[in-house]
Amino acid sequence: MRTAIAVLETSTLTEAGWRRGRNLLATAAVVGWLLALAGFGADPQRFAFSYLVAFLFVTSLGLGALFFVMVQHLSGAVWSVSLRRIAENVMGALPAAFVLFIPVGFNLHRLYEWTHHEAVAADSVLQGKQAYLNVPFFLVRGVAILLLWALLSRLLRTWSWAQDQNPRLAPPTRLSAAGLVLTVLTVTVAAFDWIMSLEPHWYSTVFGVYFYSGSAVGFLAAVILILLGLRRAGYLVREVHVEHYHDLGKWLFGLIVFWAYIAFSQYMLIWYANLPEETAWFRTRTQGAWLPVALLLAFGHFLAPFFALISRASKRNLRQLGLVAAWVLAIHYLDLYWQVMPALDRSGPRWHWLDGATLLAAASTVGLLFWRQLRGRALLPVGDPRLVRSLEFHNV
């Protein structure tokens, strides 16, 4: 049986390894932001839309991590203890979303129809929503929501670090319960504001759940890839073993099914009601050159990973699990792209180098904050009294 001290000694990044990772991420961030700034100068509107997709993508991963960590605390799960610190570090990158939101705030006029006074003056629907859809209130909501997410992630990580020194600390069950409720509500508001209001005539009461479920799927795929990357570098090889990956595969499989259920429910109810103000959003995204993207989402976000993960053996095959996770993470980005970009071009997707540049800038910035938390800290919650049981975890 391994002691907490032994675990601590073998689960901390070397200084040289940490510096190499930092330098790589810092270089990527500099290149990404220089390209993004050049793209902004060349095509400000395209920059605004490409950047919004990138911002939503990296923020969604942090939200998925926040959801995962709070659920683990509420359920008292043992199996996830040895990998919980990595999830906490992904969640800990949420404060970066506050800074990354700044370019979105400066480009509202390029993104949202309801910020144009002439459009509001000529549209009775937009006039009816003006009390909610106005720039000051939009920015206040965005800042408040991002601060709440940053605060929740900070409190949960502070508790986890304190537990390393004091294993008798009571688990943050009440904080997780309240935080989960607040997160569900605020994610719904954020999804309505940042994505749905791109086409302000459309509405869907289930859209917040659709976005949040996609965030959870994206996070599970990302954390699997992070853990496999650390494993390849020689870290968390025995601490996060095939039994843990098996359960991560089950989580990913279950959340993919849940996402598909929510996505189909939203589409089916709108299709059945056949109300013009509801169907316009889907009609744009299932016609012309957007139709292949919609079909790819149905296949790639559900059918392909569903059958790839349905067997027990596939969840325990780390190579296959990693390939599926990489695919799902890419499809999660495509899902957000499909939600946002038709507001710019209804005829079909126009892939642009700014899509990659803004994604590189946002992802490397978040990656730097994630990596910063690994310096000199254990990759495991060494003070958690359930850690030994997690190390010995075995699926029935």
Tens digit of pLDDT for each residue in 344-359? 999 999 999 999 999 9
In a domain, 396, yes or no: no
In a domain, 144, yes or no: yes
In a domain, 183, yes or no: yes
Mean pLDDT for the stretch of residues 155-182: 94
Return the structure tokens found at 122: 């000529």
Query: Phi, psi at residue 378, to the nearest 5°?
Result: -65, 145
- Cβ-proximal residues to 76 (8 Å cutoff; 6+ apart), any chain: 171
Q: How many percent of the chain have pLDDT more than 90?
A: 90
Tens digit of pLDDT for each residue in 231-272? 999 999 999 999 999 999 999 999 999 999 999 999 999 999
pLDDT above 60 (res 10): no
Residue type at 350?
Answer: R
- H helices within 43-134, ranges in order? 44-75, 81-91, 95-106, 108-111, 117-121, 124-128
d(CA 201, CA 198): 9
Mean pLDDT for the stretch of residues 176-205: 96
pLDDT above 50 (res 3): no
Q: Which letter does DSSP use for residue 204 in this model?
A: -
**Count of the separate structural domains present in the chain:** 1
Asked whether 340 and 195 are in contact (CB, 8 A), the reply is: yes
pTM: 0.95
- pLDDT the model gives residue 8: 47
Confidence band, pLDDT 50/70/90 cuts, at residue 11: confident
Domain of residue 286 covers 4-391
